[in-house]
Every structure is written in structure tokens, then in C-alpha cells.
């Protein structure tokens, strides 16, 4: 395969993995009785009646992102971005393998790894993008990093732990949808 083919596959896989996760998360939130996007953690969806939906979906998402990182590494002459992306993808897959309540706070650790390295991956992508999106990607990554810092500090800005956690995750997910199109369109 040549670089163009790698980026096409990477774009398609990034889109499919991210899209299915977003849809599965919406379905799980709707099926989880009494679930509050303000007061519940995203990972609450990984225990109880919605566990099969959420955990399978985030594992698929994480594996897809790890594969995308390899395809990006093979097609674009950069090392840092795909390495950060791989770590974030691996972390996401492990969130589904080690749901809330797993021993030794493994879930907390892999959630942090996913959010932290996902934010850094978004920021580091500026080196391979063109025009205004390189700067917007830095801004998107910083929104997630700042939200992560607030989250760790216990400052919820009046939107609850669930709302703040979404301020970490959603920018990364939405950026990944954008970036999938960017990869697919590379010549």
C-alpha cells in the first residue's frame, strides 16, 4: 500500500470508530434509567444495564484509533502525533476492559491516559495540518486539557462532573470526526 491508501483507510476507520462510539453512547445514555449527563460520569454507562453497549463500543473505538495511528505513522512522516494517538486509543480500549469498580483504580488510570494523551494528540496534529485547522486543533486540544485540569481539581463550573467530563471528551471526539475527513481527503 502507498501513503495515499493508508490515509484513506485511516480516515474511513477513524470516522467509523468514532461515529459508532458516539451513537452507542447516546443509546446507552437513553437506555440508562435516571442517567444524568450533568451528574453521572460517562463511564457510569460501562456498568449496569448499558455495560455491554458502552464497553464493547469503547473497545472498538480504542482499537480503531490504535490502528489509525499506525496507518498515519506509515503514511505521514511524523512520529509524535501517531504515538500520542496510539496511547490514547489503547487507553480508550482499556476503559472498556476495566470499567468503573475495577481493582486498583485501573479504570481511573486508563481514563486519565485516554483524556490526557487524546488532548495532546489533538494539539500535536497541528504539525501535519494546513491552514486555519492547525490552529483550531491546538485550541480544541487546549479546551480538553484545561477541562481535564479543572476536572482533576474538582472545579465543575456549575455543569456537574458529567458535564465537565464531556468538556474533555466531546472536543476530542468531534475533532476526530473532522480529522477523519481530513485524512480521507489527503492526496
Element at 45 (helix H, strand E):
none
All 3 cell numbers of residue 68?
Answer: 489509525
**pLDDT tens for each residue of the chain, 187 residues long:** 666 789 999 999 999 999 999 999 999 999 999 999 999 999 999 999 999 999 999 999 999 999 999 999 999 889 999 999 999 999 999 999 999 999 999 999 999 999 999 999 999 999 999 889 999 999 999 999 999 999 999 999 999 999 999 999 999 999 999 999 999 998 7
Could you count the other beta carbons within 10 Å of the beta carbon of residue 157? 11
Structural contact between residues 40 and 159, judged by C-beta atoms closer than 8 angstroms:
no
Confidence (pLDDT) at 136: 97
Q: Give the pLDDT score at 28.
A: 98
28 and 45 in contact (C-beta within 8 Å)? yes
CB 107 within 8 A of CB 156: no
Answer for the pair 51, 67: CB distance below 8 angstroms, yes or no. no
Phi and psi dihedrals of 77, rounded to 5?
-80, 65
Name the DSSP class of 157: T
Q: State the burial class of residue 100 (Cβ atoms within 10 Å of its Cβ: 0-12, 13-18, 19+).
A: middle
Is residue 179 a contact partner of residue 15, using CB atoms and an 8 Å limit?
A: no
The span from the CA of 165 to the CA of 33, in Å, is: 20
The pLDDT value recorded for residue 3 is 66
Find out whether 43 and 95 touch, Cβ atoms under 8 Å: yes
CB 123 within 8 A of CB 173: no
Based on its alpha-carbon atoms, the radius of gyration of the chain, rounded to whole angstroms, reads: 16
CB 137 within 8 A of CB 129: yes
CA 7, CA 68: separation in Å to the nearest integer? 9
Which pTM does this prediction carry? 0.96
Amino acid at each position: 500500500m502507498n501513503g495515499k491508501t493508508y490515509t484513506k483507510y485511516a480516515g474511513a476507520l477513524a470516522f467509523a470508530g468514532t461515529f459508532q462510539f458516539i451513537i452507542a453512547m447516546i443509546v446507552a445514555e437513553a437506555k440508562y434509567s435516571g442517567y444524568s449527563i450533568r451528574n453521572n460520569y460517562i463511564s457510569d454507562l460501562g456498568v449496569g444495564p448499558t455495560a455491554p453497549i458502552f464497553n464493547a463500543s469503547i473497545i472498538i473505538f480504542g482499537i480503531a484509533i490504535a490502528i489509525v495511528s499506525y496507518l498515519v505513522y506509515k503514511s505521514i512522516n511524523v512520529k509524535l502525533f501517531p504515538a500520542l494517538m496510539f496511547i490514547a486509543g489503547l487507553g480508550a480500549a482499556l476503559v472498556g476492559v476495566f470499567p468503573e469498580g475495577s481493582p486498583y483504580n485501573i479504570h481511573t488510570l486508563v481514563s486519565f491516559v485516554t483524556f490526557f494523551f487524546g488532548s495532546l494528540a489533538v494539539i500535536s496534529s497541528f504539525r501535519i495540518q494546513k491552514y486555519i485547522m492547525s490552529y483550531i486543533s491546538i485550541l480544541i486540544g487546549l479546551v480538553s486539557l484545561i477541562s481535564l485540569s479543572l476536572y482533576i481539581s474538582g472545579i465543575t463550573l456549575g455543569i456537574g462532573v458529567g458535564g465537565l467530563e464531556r468538556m474533555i471528551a466531546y472536543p476530542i471526539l468531534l475533532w476526530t470526526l473532522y480529522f477523519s475527513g481530513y485524512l480521507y481527503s489527503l492526496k
